[in-house]
């Protein structure tokens, strides 16, 4: 049951395309202030889950609330309360970082978009990219500008889909530091990832999705007490392969 402290709560949330089930009914609760790591193989349904929670897709079964709003009956309120960084974000190549961010800030309904852009660039330490065209950026630079558009309006819940994908070790470290700072500022973070090392370092709780079903869910405190870094991988491989005996 969702509590008043839930940032994300789903009840039997699922989606099918004809006979093909993309996500089996998923019941999940992520508390406010958590950094939730959502693990799973490619095609397990992680991105589909995020797309449902961000209102990009409509579920065929179940319900969900994000930041206290129903994703089906109140999609606009959900969108106003979330930020989203898809995997491989690109933005408008012919526009500068500032032009891109001003556009998204205005679309988010911010009263002082220029101030929000300035503060966000400053927060992410990318002020030097402000007046450069996005089309000239490396993957890491794009990822940071993409993150900037996701947090411009200081959302309650931030959804990150494979945020470290394609980043070099320095980029991964910088992203981790940013996630820590955002979380410290009170933002709930829901993160799809493959990187177990990132999960171990950044997340306060994890869930493992396998073939469209949630097969494991616990806090990192419990996980850390039961598994060391090596056995975390064993845990993941085990539950993802369907070894139910290790699922909590």
Partner 1 sequence: MTPSRLLARQSLAGLMRDRSVLILVAFFAAMVMVTAWLGWSATNTVNAIYADAAQYLAGAGQPVPSNPVGQSAPLAVLRNLGVYISLIGTFGAIVIGQLLIEADRRAGTLPLLGTRPFARRDYALGKMRALGVATGAMMAVAGLISVATLFTIPSLVVRSADLARLGLFLILGWAYITTFGLVALGAAARMPATASGLISASVVWLVVTFVLPELTANIHPTASINPVSTLAATPDSAFFRVTSTLLGPVSLSEAFAWLSGDLLSFLPDGLAPRGPVPPLVTLPLALLLAFLFALRSAAKLDLTAGGPDA
- Applying CB under 8 A, the residues found at the interface with partner 1 are 51, 54-57, 76-77, 79-80, 82-84, 86, 88-95, 99, 103-104, 106-109, 149
Assess contact for 207 and 247: CB atoms under 8 A. no
As measured in angstroms, the least distance from the Cβ of 161 to partner 1 is 9
Residue 95 φ/ψ, nearest 5 degrees: -110, 155
Smaller CB separation from partner 1, 58 or 168 = 58
Residues in a beta bridge with 66: 8, 69
CB of 242 to partner 1, least distance (A): 28
Nearer to partner 1 by Cβ, of 77 and 132: the residue is: 77
Q: Could you tell me the smallest distance in angstroms from the CB atom of residue 67 to partner 1? A: 12
φ, ψ (nearest 5 deg) of residue 23: -145, 120
Q: 149 or 205: whose CB is closer to partner 1? A: 149
Residue 95 CB, shortest distance to partner 1, in Å, is 8
75 vs 196, which CB is nearer to partner 1? 75
Nearest to partner 1 of 105, 239 (CB atom)? 105
Closest separation in Å from C-beta 94 to partner 1 = 4
* Neighbouring residues of 126: CB distance < 8 A, sequence distance ≥ 6: 97, 141, 144, 145, 148
Q: How far is the CB of 222 from partner 1 (least distance, A)?
A: 32
Q: Report the 10 Å Cβ neighbour count for 174.
A: 18
Report the residue number, 44 or 215, with the smaller CB distance to partner 1: 44
């Amino acid at each position: 049951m969702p509590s008043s402290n839930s940032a994300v709560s789903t009840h039997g949330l699922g989606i099918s395309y004809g006979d093909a089930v993309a996500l089996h009914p998923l019941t999940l609760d992520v508390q406010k202030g958590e950094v939730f790591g959502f693990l799973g193989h490619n095609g397990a349904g992680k991105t589909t889950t995020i797309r449902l929670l961000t209102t990009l897709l409509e579920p065929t079964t179940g319900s969900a609330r994000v930041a206290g709003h129903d994703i089906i009956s109140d999609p606009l309120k959900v969108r106003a309360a979330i930020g989203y960084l898809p995997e491989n974000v690109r933005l408008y190549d012919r526009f500068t970082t500032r032009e891109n961010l001003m556009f998204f800030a205005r679309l988010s309904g911010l009263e002082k978009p220029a101030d929000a852009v300035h503060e966000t660039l400053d927060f992410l330490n990318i002020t030097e990219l402000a007046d450069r065209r996005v089309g000239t950026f490396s993957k890491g630079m794009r990822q940071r500008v993409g993150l900037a558009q996701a947090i411009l309006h200081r959302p309650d819940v931030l959804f990150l889909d494979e945020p470290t994908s394609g980043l070099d070790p320095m980029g991964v470290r910088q992203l981790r530091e940013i996630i820590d700072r955002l979380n410290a500022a009170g933002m709930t973070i829901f993160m799809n990832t493959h990187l177990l090392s990132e999960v171990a370092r950044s997340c306060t709780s994890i869930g493992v999705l396998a073939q469209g079903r949630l097969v494991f869910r616990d806090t990192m405190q419990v996980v850390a007490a039961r598994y060391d870094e090596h056995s975390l991988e064993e845990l993941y491989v085990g539950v993802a392969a369907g070894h139910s005996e290790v699922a909590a």
